[in-house]
Structure 1
Amino acid sequence: MRRLSLLALPLLFATAPHVALAQSSSETSSTMTAPLDYPETRRGDIVEDHFGITVADPYRWLENDVRNDPEVAAWVAAENKVTDAYLQTLPGRDVFRRRLKALIDYERFGLPVERGGRYFYNHNSGLQNQAVLFVRDSPNGEGRVLLDPNGWSKDGATALAEWVPSEDGTKLLYAIQDGGTDWRTIKVLDVATGKPLSDKVEWVKFSALSWARDGSGFYYSRFPEPQAGEKFQATNENQAVYFHKLGTAQSADRLVYATPDHPKYGHGAYVTDDGNWLVIITTEGTDNRYGVTVLDLTRPDAKPRTIISKLENEWSPAGNIGSKFYFLTNKDAPRGRIVTMDVAATDPLATVAELVPQTEATLQGASMVGGTLFANYLSDVKSEVRRFAPDGTPKGEVPLPGIGTASGFDGEQGQTETFYAFTSFARPATIYRYDIATGEVTPWAQPEVAFDPEQYDVRQRFYTSKDGTRVPMFIVHKKGLKTPAPTLLYGYGGFDISLTPAFSATRLAWMEQGGVLAVANLRGGGEYGKAWHDAGRLHNKQNVFDDFIAAAEDLIAEGVTTKDQLAIQGGSNGGLLIGAVTNQRPDLFAAALPEVGVMDMLRFDQFTAGRYWVDDYGYPSKEADFKVLYKYSPYHNIRSGEDYPAIMALTADTDDRVVPGHTFKYTAALQHADIGTKPHIVRIETRAGHGSGKPTDKIIEEYADMWAFAAKWTGMKVTAKE
C-alpha cells in the first residue's frame, strides 16, 4: 500500500522487532533491599527561564555525542558496567537466551517484487544477523543470492535497507545502513552478474527511491552534508529531490525540486507506473499533511507544478490512469476515503471526485494493481481488504485467514498478480499470491515454527478510560493459564500509528513462561482515524497516559494480573509513554522498560529528526505548548520521595532518530532521585540505532536482558524448555 511505502518519514518506531527472545534460570530471587552503587554523575549548573518558570538541566552535558566527548564515553562505560554486573545476577537470563535463539530460528520471507519477469525478495534462514536479498529469474525458479549483507561488517550491524529493482529487472537500486543510523549510502547492482556499478550517492535519509522508466537513472532525496562532528546530532533541514544519471558522479546530479524558503519541508518523489509523471509529496512534520507537486516527464521542458500547496490534509497517491490520479485523503473524511483528480487540469482541486466514500472502518492504505483498486481497512484494529474497479464499483473482499494484519498489495497496472503478508499474535507472517483476474489465493512462503499456535488464546477487550472513552486492548497468553499472572503491557499512542496484531518471537518467549501479553490501542494512534489521533496529541497528550493507566487498572480489576506482577514496555514515543506513566503512577507497576524514549520534552526538537515531531508534541518555544510539555516530560517530573518500580531504560549509541542523550539524562536523574531501592539502570547498545538494521544476535541479547529483568520483578518463575 503506497501510503506506508512512498516516504520513509522520520516517525518513531511503534513495535518491537519481530525476531528476539532469550534469558535464564528456574527461580526468581528475593526483592533487592539495597540500592545499586551507581556511577557518580556530574551535575552542571544550567538553569533557564521558560516563560517565567525556572527549569534546571543539570545533565545537559550528557547530550554530547559519545564519539566526540570523552566524559560522556566514560559515563556510558561506567553505566554499562553496573548494568552488565546486575544482569548477570538475574535468574532466567540464560533460559530466555536459549529459547529466544530457538524460536527465532525459523525461515522468514519478505514480500516479493516482480520486475521484468524476475522476483526479488528478502530471506532470512533463521539466525542470520541480516536478511539476504534473493532473486528468482522466473516465477517458479530457484532463488539465488543477489546481496548478502552479513559479510559487510564483522559485527553484523551493517544492513541492507531499502531496495528497488529497475523496470526491466536488470538493475537494482539499494541502500546501505551502517550501525543502525538513519543515514543511507545508495548503490546500484547489475542483477545478471551480481556486481555493483560505480554509482554511489550519500547523505540520503527519509527518502523514496524511484527509477526513471527507461532505467537511465533514479530519483532520490537528500540533505546537505552535515558539518564535521554533527552527522548524528544536527537537525535535518533543506531536503531536496535530485536525479542521478547512471555512470556519473553524485556531484553531477540534477536538482529537480527544492524549497529553500521552507527549509523544514521534506520531499519524496516517485515515478508513476506509466513513466509519464514524477509525483513529489511534500511534508513538514510527521502528520499526514501533504503538498503535491507533479512533473510531466513526457515534456523535456516541463517544470514542477505544485497542485496542492497547503499542507492541510493527506493526499497519498494510489495509482493513475493517464492524468487521472487516485488519492487516499482525509479531507472531509477523518477515517479516509478515495478520490480521483485530474492533475493536468487548470485547477486540479476543482476536479476532485469521490470514488470510495468514508466508512465506519479506518482506511489505512490504497493501491492500484492490474486494473484493481485495493483498499486496506482497519475494523476495530483488524484488517479488511476490499477491492474496487477503477470506477469505484465494489468487487468484494480479499479473503484473509483470520483476525490479524494484512499488508502489501503493491505492484503495477500491467501486472496480473499481487502479493500480501498476513500475521497475527500467534501466526508468523505468511506470504500469499493473489491472482487479480480469478481472485485465487495461494501461499507463496509459509514459515514453519517451533511452537503450536493453537496453544495460545487471543482476545480483544474494550475498557473505559478516565474520561469515559472506550479503548481496545488485545490480551494474549497460553490457553488454560491461571491468572493473575506476570503480565507485559505494551503501548505507543502517537503519530497516527496503529498497533495491529502481529507475530513476535520475542513476545512468544515471554508467554511460554506463563506470561500474559497485553497491547493497548491508545489514543494518539491511527486505529480509528484522524479523530483518534487528534485526541492523543498536542494538548490532548495526557489522554494517552490516562488510556495506558486505565489499561493497567483494567488488567488488575479483571484479575489478569496484579500491580506486583505488571511490567510495562514501550519504544521511542512509547518510551516517552513509559517514562511519563511511571512518574504519574509509580505505585501501579512492578517493572518498566522504556526503550529509546523521548525523555526531555523541552529539547527534543534540537536534534536530528526531532524537529519533525512538533506535529504530535507541539513547540517547546511556545508558551502554551511548553506548559503542557513540561507537565509530563519524563526527565523533569521524577518524583523524589516516591517508591518507583524497577526500571531498565534502553538506548543505543548510534540512534540518530531519538538521540541517546534523552535516555542518558533521564537515567542520571533517576539515579540521583530518592525513589526507592529497586534498580534504576540503563542498557546502552553499541553500533546500533533506533531499531532498524539491528542484527539478530543483538536482538536476542537485548530481549533476553529485558525479559529476565521483567521476570525478576514480576515474580515469574522461569523454567528451561526441552
Structure 2
Amino acid sequence: MLKAEAATVAGVDMPAPHTPCPVSDTYWGVKIEDPYRCLENLSEPGVQAYMKAQAEATEKVLSRIPGRERLLKRIQELDAEVPANVTDVSRDARGNLFYEKRLASDNQFKLYMRRGFDGPEKLLVDPEALAKATGKPHAIGAYSHSKDGALVAYSISAGGAEIGTLHVINTETGQEVMPPIDRIRGGGASWLDDGSAFFYSRLAQGWEQRPRAERFMDNTVYLRRLAEPGKDVAVFGPSVHPELGLDRSDGASVQVLRGQPVALAVVYHGVSRYRSLYISDTADLLAGKPKWRKVFDQSAKVGDVSVHQGWVYLRSAQDAPRYKLLRLALPQADMARAELLVPGGAEVITAIASAPEGLYFTRRDGAAKKLYRLPHGLEAGAAAKAAQAITLPFEGNVAIADADTELPGLVLQLSGWTRTAQHYFLAAKDSAPKALNLAPRGKFDVLPGVVAREVKVKSHDGVEVPVSIIARSDIKLDGSNPTLLYGYAAYGTVEEPGISLRTLAWLEQGGVMVFCHARGGGILGDEWHKAGHKTSKFNTWRDGIATAEWLIQQGYTSPSKLAVYGGSAGGIFVGRVLTERPDLFAAAGIGVGNLDQIRSETRANGAGNIPEYGTVKIEQEFHALRNNSTYEHIKPGTKYPALLFEHGVNDTRVDVWMSTKTATRFVAANPRGKPVLMRLEYDAGHGVGSTRIQGQLRTADRWAFFLWQAGMSGFQPK
C-alpha cells in the first residue's frame, strides 16, 4: 500500500495522510483489512502529533473562508437575542422550582432555584467559576433535589468527558454536605423522602485501567447515607446480584415508592429501548440486603415505567408496535394480571408520567404530538374513552418536563419547527397550560418569514418516509438553494419539532434545512425503529438517499448545492449515503460519528450499543455491520464530496479514532480529490455540555464549509 501524498487546501499545506499500518482480522471466513488500526492508539506520540497537525491545518483552512467571520458574528447576534435558555425544570414539595439556565451573557448552563413560579431565583451551581479556576470548561451532567428541596445532588465533569464527580449541597447555604463521589458517568441521585440518603450509580473501581471494551461495564447502584459517607452499600448491579443474570453492560435506577412496602429497580440494557423491572421489599433494601424479584424483562417490550400509589403504569410495544398502556397492581406487580388501559392504535404513544390527578401521556401523529390526561382508578375497559385531550397553544412537540406523584399538575416544554422552546404549567383541573415566566420573551420566539412543510418520500422499497423541511417562505424551487439534509435515525429517537435561533443564519443565506425521519428512528413507533436496526439498518441510509434524490427532483436543490450532516449514530446515515451515492452531494459533515462498525464494540461504550447495531460474534449481524460501516466502503479513486469530520478528543461515547481513521482513509483514497478536514477539539467530548462559544464556532465552521462547497459567493477562498 503506497503512502498518499499531501494536498493543498485553500492555500494551506495539509499534512500527508498517516502512513498505513495495516492489520487483518477474519470474521466468519471473511478477511477484513484495517489500514489505519494504529490510529486507535491515542497515547502513541506519533498518533498525537498527527492529530494535532490535522487539527491545526483544518483550523487554518476554515479561517480562510471569507464569509466565516461574518457568519459567526450573525450566529452570535442571534444568540444574543435569546434572553435565556432554560432546561431540566423540576419542583419540590415546598413549591420551589429548580432548573438549569444559560443567559445571553453566559457561556454555560448554571443551576438555579426559584421560590415558587414567580419568586426570586438563587444561583446554586456555576460551572463557569470552575472553568475560570481550572482553565477547562465544566458542565453539569444531571441534578436531583431532595423532596423538600433542602438538598440537591449534581454531577459535574470537565472538558466534555461526561465522567466526573457527584456533589451534594445545602440549598440555603450553598455548602457541600459530604465529600464528592468520583467515578460518576452522567447520572444524578434518587432520594429517600426524608432526605437522609440517596441511591446513585457508579463506575467500577479502576475502570480507566481496564481493557477498553470493559471500562463502562459492571456499574453498581449504591445507597449513600449522608450521616455515613464512608459506608456506601451496593444494592444493585451485575456483580452484586449474579443470580439475576444481568449483562455486564446493564445499568439501573433504584427508587423507594411512597406509601408502598416495595422498591423498584428499573434496568437499562445499554441503548435498548426495552427495560426490565425488579422489585424488593423496601425494608430489605434499606438494610442493604435486597431480595430482588423480576417483574418483567425485555421480552415485555416496556419502554417507560411510571408509578402512582398502588399502581405501576407501563408503556409497552408488545403486540402493539405503536405502543399501548398497561397497569399493574402493587405490591404484587404480576405481569400475568396486567390490565390494558389504552390499546395500541394508529398514533404512537411516546411518553407517560403520573401526577395525583391522573396519568398523563403523549401521542404522536407524524412529527407533532398531543397530550392526554387519564384519571386514576378507572376500570380498565373504560379508561381509553375517558382520556382527556389537553388543548395546546400550538402544534409541535410537547415534552413532559416535570411530574410528581404527590404534586398536582405538571411542567411542559413546548416547541415547534418555527417556535423556540418555552415552558408551561398545566394545573390539575385545567384543560390548557399557561406559560411559565422562567425567561423573558425573545425577539424571535416565533421565526418570521419561515415555514415548515411535512412531506413523505418513497424509499427504495416503496415505503414512505416522513421528511420535515424548514425554509424561508419566499423559497424558489429552481435547484439553486444550498440545502442541508440531516439524519440520525437510531435508537428509536426522533428529531422533534424545535429550532435553534442559529438556524436563521443558515436560512438567511438562502439555505434549506431538511430532517429525514429515516427508519431506525421512532417517528412511527417501535416497528419503524426495528426497520432500521441491526440487520435492517441498511434502510436508514437508503431512506437518506431517497430523500436526497427527492429534494433534487423537486427543485429544492441540486447535487452541487446539497450537503448532508449527522452526528454520533447519525454517522452511519451520512457515511453510507455519501459512500453509496457520492454524486448526490457537494459536501458532507460528520460529528462524533460511529464510522467503523466492525470495530464499534471494541470501544468503551461499545458493548452497550450492541442491542442497536449488533455484534461480530453473530454471523448475520457481522455481515450487517460490514454493510453499514463507512470505513469499509471507501473505494480508491472515487470522487467523494468535500468532507468535514468534527470530533471532541475527550469523547467517551464514540472514540475520536472513529473520525481520524475514516478521514485518513478518505484522503488516501483520492489525494487529489475534494478537501477532507479533521476538526478536532481538545477541550470537548461528544458534545454534551459544550459551552456557548464552542457551539457557535462549531456551527459557523460547519455552515461556512458547506456554503463554500456549494459555490456561494462570499464564501470562496482566494
Alignment TM-score, normalising by the size of structure 2: 0.91
Matched, 1:716 2:712: yes
- Alignment counterpart, residue 621 of structure 1, candidates 610, 617, 622: 617
* 8 Å Cα contact 2:650-2:684 kept in structure 1: yes
Matched, 1:129 2:107: yes
- 1:255 to 1:230, Cα distance in 2 relative to 1, 3 A: closer
Distance 2:139 2:79 in 1: 18
Matching residue of 2:421: 429
Distance 1:386 1:142 in 2: 32
Distance 1:48 1:111 in 2: 45
> Which whole-Å deviations, capped at 9, do the CAs of 1:367-387 have from their partners, x for residues lacking one?
011222110111112111111
- One-letter code aligned to 1:133: L
- Alignment counterpart, residue 141 of structure 1, candidates 97, 106, 119: 119
> Which whole-Å deviations, capped at 9, do the CAs of 1:659-699 have from their partners, x for residues lacking one?
10111110111111126521011100111111111111111
Matches within 5 A, 1:233-632: 234-249=214-229, 251-260=230-239, 261=242, 262-274=247-259, 277-297=262-282, 303-316=290-303, 318-345=305-332, 348-390=334-376, 391=378, 392=383, 394-445=386-437, 447-451=440-444, 453-483=447-477, 484=479, 485-632=481-628
Matches within 5 A, 1:627-706: 627-674=623-670, 676-706=672-702
* 8 Å Cα contact 2:136-2:683 kept in structure 1: no
Distance 2:206 2:68 in 1: 41
* 8 Å Cα contact 1:129-1:156 kept in structure 2: no
Instruction: Give the superposition deviation at 1:611.
Output: 1.2
- One-letter code aligned to 2:231: A
Matching residue of 1:193: 173
- One-letter code aligned to 1:189: I
* 8 Å Cα contact 2:471-2:512 kept in structure 1: yes
- Same amino acid, percent of matched pairs: 27
Distance 1:320 1:51 in 2: 46
Count of residue correspondences? 685
> Which whole-Å deviations, capped at 9, do the CAs of 1:548-592 have from their partners, x for residues lacking one?
000000000001100110010000011121111111111110000
Distance 1:203 1:246 in 2: 18
* 8 Å Cα contact 1:132-1:145 kept in structure 2: yes
Matches within 5 A, 1:15-30: none
Matching residue of 1:70: 45
SS at match of 2:273: coil
> Which whole-Å deviations, capped at 9, do the CAs of 1:435-466 have from their partners, x for residues lacking one?
11233521103654444613101111111001
Deviating more after overlay: 220-229 vs 299-308:
299-308
- 1:509 to 1:145, Cα distance in 2 relative to 1, 3 A: same
- 1:34 to 1:114, Cα distance in 2 relative to 1, 3 A: closer
> Which whole-Å deviations, capped at 9, do the CAs of 1:154-176 have from their partners, x for residues lacking one?
35620112111100110001111
* 8 Å Cα contact 2:418-2:499 kept in structure 1: yes
- One-letter code aligned to 1:188: V
Matching residue of 1:15: none
Distance 2:447 2:616 in 1: 47
- One-letter code aligned to 1:85: K
> Which whole-Å deviations, capped at 9, do the CAs of 1:122-178 have from their partners, x for residues lacking one?
211114121121111233211121111111113562011211110011000111122
* 8 Å Cα contact 1:36-1:679 kept in structure 2: no
Matching residue of 1:55: 32
- 1:566 to 1:241, Cα distance in 2 relative to 1, 3 A: same
Distance 1:435 1:629 in 2: 49
SS at match of 1:269: strand
Deviating more after overlay: 674-683 vs 304-313:
304-313
> Which whole-Å deviations, capped at 9, do the CAs of 1:332-388 have from their partners, x for residues lacking one?
21111111112422x711220111211211111100112221101111121111111
- One-letter code aligned to 2:311: K
Matched, 1:99 2:95: no
Distance 2:525 2:519 in 1: 10
* 8 Å Cα contact 1:307-1:349 kept in structure 2: no
> 5+ residue gaps in structure 2?
1-7
- 1:588 to 1:676, Cα distance in 2 relative to 1, 3 A: farther
Deviating more after overlay: 294-303 vs 275-284:
294-303
* 8 Å Cα contact 1:113-1:120 kept in structure 2: yes
SS at match of 1:100: helix
Backbone CA RMSD of aligned residues: 2.2
Distance 1:34 1:134 in 2: 48
Matching residue of 2:85: 108
Distance 1:270 1:675 in 2: 56
Instruction: Give the superposition deviation at 1:472.
Output: 0.8
Instruction: Give the superposition deviation at 1:481.
Output: 2.0
- One-letter code aligned to 1:134: Y
* 8 Å Cα contact 2:416-2:499 kept in structure 1: yes
> 5+ residue gaps in structure 1?
1-30
Distance 1:585 1:397 in 2: 45
Distance 1:170 1:276 in 2: 25
- 1:363 to 1:441, Cα distance in 2 relative to 1, 3 A: same
SS at match of 1:628: helix
- One-letter code aligned to 2:16: P
Matching residue of 1:81: 56
- 1:378 to 1:156, Cα distance in 2 relative to 1, 3 A: farther
Distance 2:691 2:355 in 1: 34
